[in-house]
Each structure stands twice: as structure tokens, then as C-alpha cells.
Amino acid sequence: MPLHRRSLIAAAAALPIAGAARAQAWPARPVRVVVPFAAGGAADSAARTILPRMAERLSATFVVENRTGAGGSIGGGEVARSAPDGYTLLWDASSHIVNHALLRGLTFDYTTAFLPISQVCTFPQVVAVKQDFPARDLAAFIAAAKARPNTINMGTQGNATAGHLGLARFAREAGIEVQHVPYRGGADAARDLAAGNLDGVFITALSARPVVESGRARFLAVATLQRQANLPEVPTLAESGMPGFDVSEWVGLFAPAGTPAEIAVRLQEALAATLAEAEVRARLDRLGAVPVGNAPAAFARFVTEGRASMATLVREANIRIE
């Protein structure tokens, strides 16, 4: 056999071993974690709560970088173009499974550009109404909306957000028409709810809870499959006649497609262990977040199924970014 051919065969045989060795050596330098949203928001706050503890477990240095704009797609595109070596990660939110159906001119494909590592946490959303709204439960709210179509105004944290998508699905499944009032964040919507300028909101429990606790609003339902431990008295939309209803804000960890599976597993294991810490869970609870930390395969299924259902909802509800 010619020498050069023997050399090529030997080199090819060594490739998997070399790849495994690189994964074992990781992390040998700081890891950049791109958060495609503003500092101080829910996704960013969760990152700065969790990543330092993950870094300790991995003997790593994580550098958080906020790259905002275009619903998270600016930062997403930067990670999509990065080398798949475990040194650039994406800390993305629920817009990850919606942007492909909303944004034109994307320079990357959300369906193929990323390796899902784990869903980090969710931020449950709620239906809440101002204190003097006559409905005391969800059934009465739906009856009122049917009696007065397109007159009840409902605030969300913005166009094409999880709140907007949740409200659209709720209205569609309930057979009602309401006026959607988008804000630049859940806190702004909650402020107008407290002032009585809104009939209701579909926003995160984190944003709505202070208004409810002040006595200026009340919860009607939470948009998750199970009741929340910190809101045990609030029924779910699923148990209120909408089986399977689950539309939450969430945060997940991704890497560029092609990142070694060994690195993904190490990241997920460090994340899951961090989320099990009592101090971390307490801090997340103060953020209104529910920890998840699932395995890469489970998160990949969640992303795939969510992307398909959100695309259908965007099309059927005629949701546009304005």
C-alpha cells in the first residue's frame, strides 16, 4: 500500500479520537454566552443567576454578552455563525421557536443552526383582570367577552411575544374576540392594569403578581399544564376547559450545530446540578422562574414541536411584527 494512502487511513481513523480528546480538554479558555436580550430582563437575570455556579462546576469561565435586537435574532445569528467548538453558546428565549415564522431576511436557519442543550427555566404566564372587572373566574370572563365582542382590552408584553401568542391561542380556543394592546414589556402592561386602563392582561406571573398583591387586580388562570407551587389557588387554563394549554416564556441553552455531543452533555449535567441547588432555586423563585434542566434530546423535541405549533398559530391568528 502506498505510504500516502496508509497515512490518510491512519489520520481518518484518528479523527474520532482527536474529537473526543478536544471535548475532554474543554473548556481550555473562556466560554462566551450570548444573551440576545437586554441586561436586567428575565432571560439576562436568569443567566447571571445560573451561569456563575455552572462555571464553578465545570472549572470554566463564562462571559455573558448581551447582543440585542430583532427579537433575539441578532444574537442568534452571531452564535449560528460561530465555530461549533463549545466556546460560544446561546442563552435564548421562547422567541427562538417563533422568529422563523415572523422575521423576513434571516441570514440563518433556526431549524438547523443550533444544537439544543437544555431548557433552563420557564416563566409562567397568567390571565389577570382589573379588580372591578365583573368576571370572578375564567368562564365568566369568556361569557363577558362573547356578550361584548372586541370591546374588552387585554395587554401583553409586546407584539409576537409569548404573551401575544398565548392571548391569541386563548381567544381562538375560547371563541372570543378581544382588543390586543401590546406594550414594551410586562411591567408596563401591569402598570396600566393597576391604573384601570386595561380590562386584563396575558403576561408573566412575575409582572402581574405585584398588582394582584396590591389588591388592584386578580388572577383568573395560569397558562401552564399544572398549577404553580407559588400560586396554588389559581386554576390552569387546561383545567378551565382548554386541555393541553401551555404557553410560557422560557429560557434555553443552545450551541452552534456540530458542537461535540460530549460538550453538550457536560453542559446539561452542570446546569441540572446547578438548578438542584436550594439557593439557586430560591433566587429563581424570586424571578418568577420555574427550573427545568432537561436532557438535550428532550429539549430538542420540545423545540421541534413548539416551532411547528407556533408557526401554525402565527399563520392562523395572522400575527405580524409591527
Strand partners, 125: 204
State the cell numbers at 276: 438542584
* 281 within a domain of the structure (yes/no): yes
Question: What is the domain extent for residue 268?
Answer: 29-122+249-316
Same-domain check for residues 234 and 256:
no
**Domain final residue, candidates 240, 275, 305:** 240
CATH number for the domain harbouring residue 53: 3.40.190.150
Same-domain check for residues 86 and 118:
yes
Residue type at 266?
R
**More confident position, 151 or 321:** 151
Q: Long-range contacts: 301-308, Cβ < 8 Å, 24+?
A: 302/116, 302/119, 303/96, 303/97, 303/116, 303/252, 306/94, 306/97, 307/97, 307/98, 307/100, 307/110, 307/111
The rounded distance, in Å, linking the Cα atoms of 170 and 174 is 6
* 20 within a domain of the structure (yes/no): no
* 134 within a domain of the structure (yes/no): yes
The rounded distance, in Å, linking the Cα atoms of 80 and 100 is 14
Q: Do 156 and 188 contact (CB within 8 A), yes or no?
A: no
What integer pLDDT is reported at residue 257 of this predicted model? 98
Q: Which helix (H) or strand (E) holds 232?
A: none
State the cell numbers at 130: 382589573
* 312 within a domain of the structure (yes/no): yes
pLDDT over 90 for what percent of the chain?
81
Provide the terminal-to-terminal Cα distance of the chain, rounded to the nearest Å.
66
User: Per DSSP, which regions of 96-152 are E strands?
Assistant: 114-123, 125-130
Each residue of 103-114: pLDDT tens digit? 989 999 999 999
Same-domain check for residues 139 and 177:
yes
The rounded distance, in Å, linking the Cα atoms of 230 and 297 is 29
Strand partners, 231: 228
What integer pLDDT is reported at residue 1 of this predicted model? 46
Entry pTM: 0.86
Task: Give the mean model confidence (pLDDT) for residues 58-65.
Answer: 97
State the helix-helix crossing angle for 205-213 and 186-194, rounded to 10 degrees.
Answer: 20
**Domain final residue, candidates 205, 240, 275:** 240
What integer pLDDT is reported at residue 23 of this predicted model? 58
In this predicted structure, the answer to whether residue 291 has a pLDDT above a threshold of 90 is: yes
* Count of Cβ atoms closer than 10 Å to residue 258 Cβ: 11
**Where is average pLDDT lowest: 19-28, 131-140, 229-238?**
19-28
Each residue of 243-282: pLDDT tens digit? 999 999 999 999 999 999 999 999 999 999 999 999 999 9
Q: Do 163 and 156 contact (CB within 8 A), yes or no?
A: yes
Each residue of 13-38: pLDDT tens digit? 454 544 555 556 999 999 999 999 98
In this predicted structure, the answer to whether residue 131 has a pLDDT above a threshold of 90 is: yes
How many structural domains comprise the chain? 2
Q: In what order do the strands lie in the sheet with 179-182?
A: 179-182, 153-156, 200-204, 125-130, 217-222
State the cell numbers at 217: 387586580
Same-domain check for residues 46 and 151:
no
Closest to 181 (Cα-Cα) out of 205, 197, 162 = 197
In this predicted structure, the answer to whether residue 12 has a pLDDT above a threshold of 50 is: no
* 221 within a domain of the structure (yes/no): yes
State the cell numbers at 53: 455556579
**Domain final residue, candidates 206, 240, 274:** 240
Same-domain check for residues 154 and 117:
no
Same-domain check for residues 255 and 115:
yes
